Amino acid sequence: MKLVNLHNHTSLCGHARGTMDEYIISAREKGIAVMGFSDHAPLPSHLRNGITMEPEQTEEYIALVENKKIEFDGSMEILLGFEVDFPLHDSFPQKYFTDARIDYLIGSCHFIDDWPFDHDDYVHEFDSRDINDVYTRYFEIIGDLVGSRLFDMVGHFDLVKKFGHRATKDFSATIDRIAGMMSSLDIAAEINTSGLIKPVKEMYPSDDILKIFFDNNVPITLGSDSHSPEHVGYMFDAALEKIKKAGYTSLSFFRKRKRYTTPL
């Protein structure tokens, strides 16, 4: 089995620490064979605020990852990705969606109509909103993200639960519909272990959602959403157990926007 980790950030995003070498060395120590960097693509200035790289840093980031591919060739496979917020913004030009240098794009939702719902400073806004309306809008965005056909995988599928706010409405039919779209478009989901260190204290997605993914033949991959070297591969043993228990027999990864699998 080749252990895969496709969700890792760099200090360029403004809220991660450590050098790229430190992330790679940490990955190697944990037996990770395929290490993908997927830093936050630039957002507009009024949303960026230390959570993404600056637009002028995009090419710098690409060059850094490409250099690491060469430097560590033969000892570890390094992949170049971006985590791109949806809906899209002009701060990440369309040309990058067809850039031959990029191995994969993660589509994620961190904003609900300019509300950064997963940010500690704005969590209080949950108190003034109907939680079912929040979940409805969140999954509308995820559905549109998948339907855009721009991405290779969806990041932290149920991030909306990060602070422990749970819908009282059943969204399984909505999720099943999105999962069907993901399967037909060959878009992967990730088991993202970072939720274990957040208030919700569980991985993304939940076991119930993972079952829906498996039933719909949605490809699966792994990501620790690392913002520091020590978090690389966090709780991957538990994540692999979760994936196998759901019935999966392989992990996905990407080269030049094409999906590959490695057996579990």
CATH number of 100's domain? 3.20.20.140
Order of strands, edge to edge, in the sheet holding 77-85?
A: 3-5, 32-40, 77-85, 104-108, 153-154, 188-192, 220-223
Q: pLDDT 10s per residue in the chain (264 long)?
A: 899 999 999 999 989 999 999 999 999 999 999 999 999 999 987 776 678 999 999 999 999 999 999 999 999 999 999 999 999 988 999 999 999 999 999 999 999 998 999 999 999 999 999 999 999 999 999 999 999 999 999 999 999 999 999 999 999 999 999 999 999 999 999 999 999 999 999 999 999 999 999 999 999 999 999 999 999 999 999 999 999 999 999 999 999 999 999 999
DSSP letters spanning 92-119? S-GGGGG-TT--EEEEE---BTTB-TTS
pTM over 0.95: yes
Query: What range defines the domain where residue 7 resides?
Result: 3-263
How many structural domains compose the chain?
Answer: 1
